[in-house]
Amino acid sequence: MSRFLSRSTGCFSRARYVVLVCWSVVILLSGCSSTPVEPPAALVEFKPELAVKTVWSTRIGSGADEEDLRLFPRLAGDTLYVNDHKGTVVSLQADTGKQNWEIDLNKPLTSGPGYGDGKVVIGSADGQVIALSADDGKALWRAQLSSEILAPPAVGEGVVVAHTVDGKLFALDAADGAQLWIYDRTVPTLTLRGTSAPVILSDIVVDGFASGKIALLVLRDGRVLWEKSIAVPRGRSELERMVDIDASPLVMGSVLYVVSYQGRVAAIDLQSGRVLWSRSMSSYTGLAADERTLYLSDDEDRVWALNRSNGASLWQQEALQRRSLTAPAVYKESVVVGDMEGYLHWMARSDGHFVARFPLGSGVRVAPVVSGERLYAYSNDGKLFCLEAAPRR
């Protein structure tokens, strides 16, 4: 578990918190010995079934650098929009990697780009939403919100929606950044450092929150259509009671899929908010799906395949534990995840066995982006890869 925890007085890592607690116990209890933290699981040997090749690669500034950020690239048609932490935003041709434009916003950026209505929209460390022209990168407007923005804003139907770390959902006019409405709910004292990204679906918007709730709202006025608790805080300590929804909601047809930390994964009827099925699960990275199967990586870095219709386990891959996995991506007949050491792991959708592995050279925190035959991966040090995989001959 490498995600950071935020408290009203600041931020600290859970690993650091656990070390401090253990060290205190060592001091207080004579003869007590500490248990070493287990290293990441060793890479297993297997016979590759796919050959992975680099189509092109390029560097985007300094990437996420040493910050614990998930700077998702955004693919819109034949264009990729990518930013680094220090303020560089780039538009690239997805087919060739050729640059369309680059701009330096001269401020720390903490979210990846959102896209819609001809605009690229990004969140900053000081709580600004910045809108750029998708055509040339020209700055269009800036709007000051209440706190840091860690997830890509959503753009659609003339509205920009951004989720701040203090638990607020802001809707802004996409034309000028004027505030339309705010959805505000209490944030627990202790939360994971991260937020779910809002998803706009025509005239509604859906998002998850640190309270373990998910909400569906009318896009134009913020009216709540329904709210649902996916996870209920349990336990005595603040750590035990954390139930953040940091993984973005996934909508497939009329069904919404959502997962929380130390809570549940659930399928919900989008219109009514009725829970179709749920089961215990703990995850904060994200979800992926194909026609029949829901995929996720849990907080112990196990990759799961679940039946979309009832949540039943189809398979589980446990050989990547403690490697700080990204959310999965579906690529052809495979499921792909990245890890903290910079490897992409391909697993067969049918049963989860490994079919390929590819080294990026630096750790990765965000799921690959897939478009047809191409897979795009963005490493922490700012290198963007366009890859293709095909059966070995």
Q: What's the pLDDT tens digit per position in 223-267?
A: 999 999 998 888 778 888 888 999 999 999 999 999 999 999 999
Is 72 in contact with 366 (CB distance < 8 Å)?
yes
Average pLDDT over residues 13-28: 36
Q: Which long-range CB contacts under 8 A does 27-36 form with residues at least 24 apart? A: none
- pLDDT, average across residues 311-338: 98
Helix (H, G, I), strand (E, B) or coil at 21: helix
Query: Collapsing DSSP states into helix, strand and coil, what is residue 234?
Result: coil
- Structure confidence at residue 242 (pLDDT): 85
Distance, CA of 283 to chain centre: 11
- Classified as helix, coil or strand, 18 is helix
Residue 142 has what pLDDT? 98
Please say whether the beta carbons of 94 and 373 come within 8 A.
Answer: no
Q: What pLDDT is attached to residue 6?
A: 54
26 confidence band (pLDDT: 50, 70, 90): very low
What are the tens digits of pLDDT across the range 42-58? 999 999 999 999 999 99
- Note the pLDDT of residue 226: 98
CB–CB of 385/54 below 8 Å?
yes
> Residues 349-372: what's their mean pLDDT?
98
Q: Which pLDDT score, from 0 to 100, does residue 237 have?
A: 84
Token representation of residue 313 = 């386990």
Beta-bridge partner residues of 75: 80
Contacts for 244 with CB less than 8 Å, ≥ 6 apart: 191, 192, 194, 209, 210, 212, 260, 261, 284
Model confidence at 3, pLDDT cuts 50, 70, 90, reads: low
Residue 11: band (very low, low, confident or very high) from pLDDT cuts 50, 70, 90: very low
Q: Average pLDDT in the 65-85 region?
A: 95
Give the span between the Cα atoms of 280 and 299, in whole angstroms.
12
How far, in Å, CA of 63 to CA of 86, rounded?
8
Q: Amino acid letter at 171? A: A
Picking from 190, 214, 193, 217, the residue whose alpha carbon sits closest to that of residue 203 is 217
Is the pLDDT reported for residue 182 higher than 60?
yes
Q: How far apart are CA 217 and CA 222, in angstroms?
A: 5
Q: Name which residue leads in pLDDT, 148 or 15.
A: 148
Taking residues 181-191, report their average pLDDT. Answer: 87
Mean pLDDT within 210-232 = 95
What is the rounded CA–CA span in Å between residue 2 and residue 241?
A: 18
DSSP state of 44: P
Count the Cβ atoms, other than its own, within 10 Å of residue 294. 24
The pLDDT tens digits of the residues spanning 79-133 come to: 999 999 999 999 999 999 999 999 999 999 999 999 999 999 999 999 999 999 9
Mean pLDDT of the chain: 91
pTM, whole model, 2 decimals?
Answer: 0.90
- Contact between residue 246 and residue 261 where contact means Cβ atoms under 8 Å apart: yes
pLDDT of residue 21: 36
Q: From CA 244, how far away is CA 15, in angstroms rounded?
A: 17
Instruction: Return the number of other C-beta atoms located less than 10 Å from residue 213's C-beta.
Output: 19
Taking only the tens place, the pLDDT of each residue in 276-308 is: 999 999 999 999 999 999 999 999 999 999 999
* Spatial distance between the Cα atoms of 360 and 225, rounded to a whole number of angstroms: 43
Q: What are phi and psi of 18, to 5 degrees?
A: -65, -40
pLDDT of residue 355: 99
Share of the chain above pLDDT 90, in %: 83
Of 123 and 16, the one with more pLDDT: 123
CA distances from 169 to 160, 183, 197, 323, 350 (A): 10, 5, 10, 32, 38
**Which of 236, 260, 264, 242 shows the shortest CA–CA distance to 190?**
242
Q: What is the pLDDT of residue 35?
A: 55
Provide mean pLDDT across the span 175-193: 91
